[in-house]
Amino acid sequence: MAIFTGAGVALITPMNEDGSLNYTEMERLLEFQIANKTDAIIICGTTGEASTMTHEEHIETIKECVRIVNKRIPVIAGTGSNCTETAVYLSKEAYKAGADGLLVVSPYYNKATQNGLKQHFTTIAKEVDLPMVLYNIQGRTGVNIQPATIASLVKDVDNIVAVKEASGNISQVAEIISRCDGEVDVYSGNDDQIIPITSLGGKGVISVLSHVAPKDTHDMVQLYMEGKVDEAAKLQIKYIPLIKALFSEVNPIPVKAALNMCGFNVGGLRLPLTTMEEANQAVLKKELETMGITKLV
């Protein structure tokens, strides 16, 4: 059974002016997402700037998210690291905190071999009794989890059940689904490929777009699942210009800017991420206005 079907938001982490974490604003964000039909919360992932959190902040953020959500929808905790021991530690802490699943990115910088990836993910999965979503994003990690590797993992390790596919390679997605014989749930890691991946048998998306358009992102998947393919495709195409603006600079720079434009107070970013360029902000604001997204709260 899938951890979730539909649109899970890869939640940003709100920050105060001094760079500390703002859990009061995170609660506002979570309540907004739940009220607008988001199907799952993915906390402490790439969009959540987990790579610049201390371990203590990382664990506390998962705890606060689980507490606020209070089992209304699944919470999937990002616990990946390029150090296997660290990933095991964070995963165990997420389990203790009450997370419903784990999102584990492939090791970055040290770029493991496919055999190394198998051992890395297997070691983490065997230490924690939670369903695990592999996160394949070669553009950030420098290594692609090959379809054969994914197939081997989902067949050999019971709690490796899904993959967030952000390679952008639709042919690879098709091969993963083919090799896994229905044993893997695939989520799009790219908002511009929600319907293409769902059409191959995917379960939905782990989304940035959901921050500003949660109901429509949910509806996009729901409509497809109900057989209303044309309506789903129209929603996908409608949002392409905004999606492009939300990725005009490295994520999560634009989506934090968008939320601040629309009434949230999510603050800035931790270095090395910096404030969005003015020209890109102008384009983002225009696309939000075009979609009628000017005030979310």
Instruction: Give the residue numbers marked as catalytic.
Output: 135, 164
Residue 200 DSSP SS3: coil
Under DSSP, the state recorded for 30 is: H
Distance CA 295, CA 297 (A): 6
CA–CA dist 256, 269 (Å, integer)? 8
What is the crossing angle of helices 114-127 and 84-97, to 10°? Answer: 30
Distances (CA, A) of 180 to 85, 159, 193, 217, 245: 28, 14, 20, 26, 34
Q: How far is residue 52's CA from residue 260's CA, in Å, rounded to a whole number?
A: 21
Q: How many CA atoms lie within 13 A of 10 on its CB side?
A: 26
Q: Where are the beta strands (DSSP E) in 81-232?
A: 101-105, 132-136, 160-165, 185-188, 204-207
